[in-house]
Amino acid sequence: MCFDPVSIGGILSFAVGAMSSVAQYQQQQQVYAQKQAIYDQNYQNSLAEGRDKAKQLQVRQLQEQKAYAQKDHIVAVEGAQKAAEASVASAGTGVSGISVDNLINEVTRGIGQKRATLQENYEMTAQQLQVEQEAVPNQTLSRINSVENPIAPSPMGMIIGIMGAGVRAFGSG
């Protein structure tokens, strides 16, 4: 039994070409696995950051609401104290009538303005926090999309490479 050197050369050429295609496919699989791991970690990190940001904004909203309620209460108490002081002071001096009523009305108006300003500031802050809260899903999605979602290599490339090696090895015969 005698082997034709051309046949052996063709077989070797085919084997080398096929192994090269397989090795290239395996390398593509490794690169894909690395990229997929990076993507998966980024995905998890992005979701966690989004949840944390949403929680922080919720806490801040509650803090702002509580701070507003406390400040409003303090201003209301101060107003009532000033009105009472004006009423007591005028009664102690024997003054009554329109001038005392005007003084009490002025104190009440000032307190009303302070409370309105507090409420307006609180509402603007609450609106800003709401806008930030609504932006969290888009920010999370943007962060997720900042890392490319890899595409797995197709084994068709390897199959075509093997077939090409066969054609090169045996097609010239």
pLDDT(70) > 80 = yes
CA distance 172 to 164: 12
The structure's pTM equals 0.67
Of the chain, the percentage scoring pLDDT greater than 70 comes to 90
pLDDT digits (tens, 9 = 90+) for 87-131: 777 776 766 667 777 878 888 899 999 999 999 999 999 999 999
Contact (Cβ atoms closer than 8 angstroms) between residue 17 and residue 164: yes
pLDDT digits (tens, 9 = 90+) for 28-52: 899 999 999 999 999 999 999 999 9
CA 141 to chain centre: 7
CA distance 54 to 141: 14
Residue with tokens 């002025």: 106
Domain ranges of the chain: 5-146+154-170
